[in-house]
Amino acid sequence: MSQPTELTGSLSKGSRRPTDLVDHIGGKAAHVDWLIGRGVPVPRTWVIPVGVDPDTVVLDGLISTRAYAVRSSATVEDGKEASYAGQFATILDVRGESAIRAAVADVLASAESNLEEAYRAALEHTGPISMAVMIQEFVTPKASGVAFSRNPITGLNEVVIEAVEGRGDRLVSEGHTPDRWVRRGDQWIEHPEGSAVATPVVDEVADTCRRLADELDEAIDLEWVWDGTRVWWVQARPVTGLTDISVYSNRISREVMPGMIKPLVWSVNVPMVNGAWVRLFTEMLGDHGIEPNDLARQFAYRAYFNMGTVGRVFELLGMPRDS
């Protein structure tokens, strides 16, 4: 018989990144241990490691009257290429040893679900999936939400926060529309009216999200709950899918390529000009993978530059993506 491993942040101390722990405790638990090591409030959390038979695990250290969240922590979960968010089971507000053991069994079984198999097929991931199980003290929330250190839709360098009153699963089970905040730099450029989440709470979430992204050195997606007094951080993962985002804007092109451009002019001039830019980038930066057609597109006969590609060029030149 064995005890589940309590996460204290010690596994990810030093230079180790969350990815170093994935094969042992799965992606979700690895990132939770990393969060604990960064000193943010995280509910007390245990993990049944990969390959450990849950029937041999003693759970008498858990308080029978306390509620727990039983979460998946698969070796493919919460990675940089794919998050597998929502593909495996999470069971909230579980009380008592028998209920916890049943929840653990359900989480392990979710690794073989039809939904997960379809997700894997779409990613062309055919390898085996190993599953750890995380048992986390359940915080009864006044509000629950997510925070992204970079806009997951546009890739812009702005913090995006969404929240609902009560439990976060209301978003899925009841279809609630979340309140939404967007902060660019120190300015809130979008915020709801009359939200149940107080402004100081949202400020704390945004500040912590930005700090954790800086420490991880990549864009981060965080889940948090507010119990009316304190913000608790319950999950973290890299933001996936940012590298190939195409966002088209005429903010620059309307100055250098104004007005309507006839198709014949576009077909001759624009590929020639873009090709010259690509050759210049190659001379300056070496192999960069940018094609002439990646730089601009025509909408309603007007030129729009691909700001996602322009941002990549800025990064290759050592400048911020949003320069």
Same structural domain for residues 186 and 206?
A: yes
Residue 31 sits in a domain whose CATH number is: 3.30.1490.20
How much is the pLDDT for 114? 46
Residue 323 in domain: no
Using 50, 70 and 90 to split pLDDT, how confident is the model at 29?
very high
Q: Output the six-digit token pair for 84.
A: 């597998």
Same structural domain for residues 55 and 133?
A: yes
Which of 121, 138, 155 corresponds to the end of one domain? 138
Which of 85, 108, 138 corresponds to the end of one domain? 138
Residue 279 in domain: yes
Same structural domain for residues 208 and 299?
A: no
Residue 52 scores a pLDDT above 70:
yes
How much is the pLDDT for 307? 79
How much is the pLDDT for 122? 44
CB-based contact 18:31 (threshold 8 Å): yes
Same structural domain for residues 127 and 154?
A: no
Q: What is the extent of the structural domain holding 225?
A: 139-243
Same structural domain for residues 111 and 55?
A: yes
Q: Are strands 143-148 and 68-74 parallel, antiparallel or unpaired?
A: unpaired
Q: Rounded distance, CA 27 to CA 135, Å?
A: 14
User: Is 149 strand, coil or helix?
Assistant: coil
Using 50, 70 and 90 to split pLDDT, how confident is the model at 39?
very high
Same structural domain for residues 105 and 220?
A: no
Which of 111, 138, 165 corresponds to the end of one domain? 138
Same structural domain for residues 103 and 149?
A: no
CB-based contact 162:146 (threshold 8 Å): yes
Residue 147 scores a pLDDT above 50:
yes
* Average pLDDT score over the chain: 82
Same structural domain for residues 87 and 217?
A: no
Location of structure tokens 């025509």: 298
Same structural domain for residues 49 and 182?
A: no
Residue 82 in domain: yes
Q: Rounded distance, CA 222 to CA 83, Å?
A: 12
How much is the pLDDT for 16? 56
Residue 268 in domain: yes
Quick: pLDDT tens for 217-268. 888 999 999 999 999 999 998 887 666 667 778 788 888 788 888 777 777 7
What residues pair up with 160 in beta bridges, in sequence order? 148, 182
Decide which of 116 and 309 is more confident.
309
Q: What is the mean pLDDT of residues 156-185?
A: 85
Cα Rg for the chain, rounded, in angstroms? 23
Run of H or E including 123: helix 114-123
How much is the pLDDT for 18? 66
How much is the pLDDT for 115? 47
Q: Rounded distance, CA 274 to CA 272, Å?
A: 6
Using 50, 70 and 90 to split pLDDT, how confident is the model at 82?
very low
Q: How many domains does the chain have?
A: 3
Decide which of 174 and 228 is more confident.
228
Question: Which phi and psi angles does 145 have, rounded to 5°?
Answer: -165, 180
Percent of the chain with pLDDT over 70: 84
Residue 197 sits in a domain whose CATH number is: 3.30.470.20
Question: Which phi and psi angles does 68 have, rounded to 5°?
Answer: -130, 155
Residue 321 in domain: no
Using 50, 70 and 90 to split pLDDT, how confident is the model at 205?
very high
Same structural domain for residues 211 and 223?
A: yes
Q: Rounded distance, CA 5 to CA 44, Å?
A: 11
Residue 322 in domain: no
Residue 307 in domain: yes
Same structural domain for residues 11 and 107?
A: yes
Same structural domain for residues 287 and 304?
A: yes
Decide which of 216 and 313 is more confident.
216
